């Protein structure tokens, strides 16, 4: 089939930086958070690309940049053949019929003052589309399709559970029959028994409508379940990208190895004897990322070259891209054996790399929306209250 290979989304050398401002009266720009720093990938028709990474990796910023919800600093985004980064908000409107989004938090993504019917029907009204049979009939058909009772058309979001609210969000996203849906952590706020329902629903809708998904998530098991290909991000860069089977069975990047080994497997027989790579320290500051390879400060493979030369993303096998100077096919002896050979003796602290001098202090970092949206738990309550007093 020719449609199989058609690209619905192509992202080339995407960079999204956020300015860092000083705290004074004149809020000078004193730096940049390089949330996304040179990311390229594509999503084919009816394909799911899973985008995984930890918080601060830039995966959500990629998701939001793709739909121009944040304006990228540079790079190209082509949706269904059309380049969109130069378009004004108004000119983007027709594009939004083709690309929609499902959000993480089903509680905050729905307006509590609107009825479910109003929420799911909003895309028709905004785009000025009259579906055959009218908006109400179309919305009720959608509700039925995603597993909601159409009689609940006039109810409000607070009358629904988290899983049902996510179904409302999904119905809204598929209303215009888009080609691409960007899913930002669509199941991470849900209980496990509900997660499975939503994952199955997303799969069914993909088959039914030929949808392409950019599926952003941190849960590697969930991503494996739904994705055809998987891309791994770290500190604004793609580390590895490969077909699903390859990334889980034969990863090459040390970071992918660490991520996979850190996920506890729900089987005590396997898990209790399993070794894992415990990455030391925390994510470095995206304001002042490490030179060379951004992962080198936490990497068990790191050598001199890694601090000097940025590893390019190279295709090492068909469809398998890796950005690493020293890719790992099999783990070297002693790595990932935290269980068998504990590095720590009781009472002796784990050896941890010291933060490089000249790095911006975490104080400056923590008040930034590092993931591209304001995170109120990270704001500096001390400073604000002090000022208001």
Partner 1 sequence: MTTPGRPAEHPFLEIKDLGVAFPTEDGLVRAVEGVSLSIERGRTLAIVGESGSGKSVTAQAIMGLIDRKIATVTGEIWLDGQELIGLPADDLQALRGAQVAMIFQDPMSSLHPFYRVGDQITEAINAHRSIRAKAARAMALEMLRRVGIPAPERRIDDYPHQLSGGMRQRVMIAMALINAPKMLIADEPTTALDVTVQAQILELITSLQDEFGITVIMITHDLGIVADVADDVAVMYGGRIVEVAPTGVLYAQPEMPYTLGLLSSIPRMDRELSVRLEPIPGNPPSPIHLPLGCVFQPRCMYSDRVAGGACLSVRPDLLATAAGHLVRCHLPAEERRQISQGVLNVLAGGS
- Find the binder of partner 1 among 222, 299, 302, 324 (CB under 8 A): 222
| Residue whose CB is less far from partner 1, 129 or 221 | 221
| Residue whose CB is less far from partner 1, 196 or 310 | 196
Q: Is 197 in the site for partner 1 (CB under 8 A)?
A: yes
Residue 214: C-alpha distances to residues 206, 348, 368 (Å): 12, 44, 25
Q: Is 388 in the site for partner 1 (CB under 8 A)?
A: no
Which of 199, 201, 204, 243 minimizes the C-alpha distance to 217? 199
Q: Is 333 in the site for partner 1 (CB under 8 A)?
A: no
Distance CA 165, CA 346 (A): 47
Residues 150-169 that bind partner 1 (CB under 8 A): 161-164
HSE of 14 in the Cβ direction (CA atoms, 13 Å)? 31
Distance CA 47, CA 68 (A): 21
SS3 183: strand
Token pair for 24: 């004074």
The one segment of 9-17, 86-94, 258-266, 314-322 that binds partner 1 by CB under 8 A: 258-266
Q: Is 349 in the site for partner 1 (CB under 8 A)?
A: yes
- Find the binder of partner 1 among 329, 341, 385, 389 (CB under 8 A): 385
Q: Is 354 in the site for partner 1 (CB under 8 A)?
A: yes
The one segment of 31-39, 103-111, 165-173, 346-354 that binds partner 1 by CB under 8 A: 346-354
Q: Say if residues 103 and 162 touch (Cβ distance below 8 Å).
A: no
Q: Is 265 in the site for partner 1 (CB under 8 A)?
A: yes
Q: DSSP labels for 244-260?
A: HHHHHHS--SHHHHHHH
User: What value, to the nearest 5°, has the Cα angle with vertex 33 and ends 28 and 34?
Assistant: 135
Question: For 106-109, which contacts have Cβ atoms below 8 Å and span 24 or more sequence positions?
Answer: 106/162, 106/163, 106/165, 106/166, 106/168, 106/169, 106/189, 106/190, 107/157, 107/162, 107/165, 107/189, 109/165, 109/169
Q: Is 267 in the site for partner 1 (CB under 8 A)?
A: yes
- Find the binder of partner 1 among 206, 225, 246, 301 (CB under 8 A): 225
Q: Is 387 in the site for partner 1 (CB under 8 A)?
A: no
Q: Is 149 in the site for partner 1 (CB under 8 A)?
A: no
The one segment of 29-37, 105-113, 326-334, 345-353 that binds partner 1 by CB under 8 A: 345-353
Q: Is the dihedral of CA 355, 36, 18, 29 positive or negative?
A: positive
Token pair for 367: 């008040």
For partner 1 (CB under 8 A), the number of binding residues is 67
Q: Is 129 in the site for partner 1 (CB under 8 A)?
A: no
Q: Is 111 in the site for partner 1 (CB under 8 A)?
A: no
User: Which residues in this chain contact partner 1 in the complex, by CB under 8 A?
Assistant: 54-55, 161-164, 191-197, 199-200, 203, 218, 220-222, 224-225, 244, 248, 258-272, 276, 278-283, 338, 342, 344, 346-347, 349-350, 352, 354, 361-363, 366-367, 377-382, 385
């Amino acid at each position: 089939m020719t449609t199989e290979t058609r690209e619905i989304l192509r992202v080339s050398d995407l960079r999204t930086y956020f300015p860092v401002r000083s705290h004074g009266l004149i809020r000078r720009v004193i730096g940049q958070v390089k949330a996304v720093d040179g990311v390229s990938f594509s999503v084919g028709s009816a394909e799911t690309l899973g985008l995984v990474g930890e918080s601060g990796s830039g995966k959500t910023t990629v998701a939001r940049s793709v739909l121009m919800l944040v304006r990228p600093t540079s790079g190209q985004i082509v949706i269904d053949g059309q380049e969109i980064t130069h378009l004004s908000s108004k000119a983007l409107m027709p594009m939004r019929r083709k690309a929609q989004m499902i959000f993480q938090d089903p509680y905050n993504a729905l307006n509590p003052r609107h009825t479910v019917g109003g929420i799911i029907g909003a895309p028709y009204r905004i785009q000025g589309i009259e579906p055959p049979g009218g908006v109400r009939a179309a919305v009720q058909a959608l509700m039925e399709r995603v597993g909601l009772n159409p009689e609940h058309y006039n109810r409000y979001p607070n009358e629904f559970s988290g899983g049902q609210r996510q179904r409302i969000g999904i119905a809204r996203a598929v209303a215009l029959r888009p080609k691409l849906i960007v899913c930002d952590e669509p199941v991470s706020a849900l209980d496990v028994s509900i997660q499975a329902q939503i994952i199955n629903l997303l799969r069914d809708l993909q088959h039914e409508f030929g949808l392409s998904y950019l599926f952003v998530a941190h849960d590697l098991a969930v991503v494996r379940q739904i994705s055809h290909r998987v891309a791994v991000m770290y500190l604004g860069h793609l580390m590895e990208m490969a077909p699903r089977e390859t990334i889980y069975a034969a990863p090459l990047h040390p970071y992918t190895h660490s991520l996979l080994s850190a996920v506890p497997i729900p089987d005590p027989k396997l898990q209790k004897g399993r070794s894992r790579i415990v990455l030391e320290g925390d994510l470095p500051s995206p304001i002042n990322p490490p030179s060379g390879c951004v992962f080198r400060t936490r990497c068990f493979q790191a050598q001199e070259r890694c601090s000097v030369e940025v590893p390019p993303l190279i295709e090492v096998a068909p469809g398998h891209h890796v950005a690493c100077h020293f890719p790992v096919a099999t783990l070297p002896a002693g790595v990932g054996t935290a269980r068998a050979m504990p590095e720590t003796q009781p009472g002796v602290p784990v050896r941890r790399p010291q933060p490089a001098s000249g790095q911006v202090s975490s104080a400056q970092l923590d008040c930034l929306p590092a993931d591209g949206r304001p995170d109120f738990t990270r704001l500096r309550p001390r400073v604000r209250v002090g000022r208001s007093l």
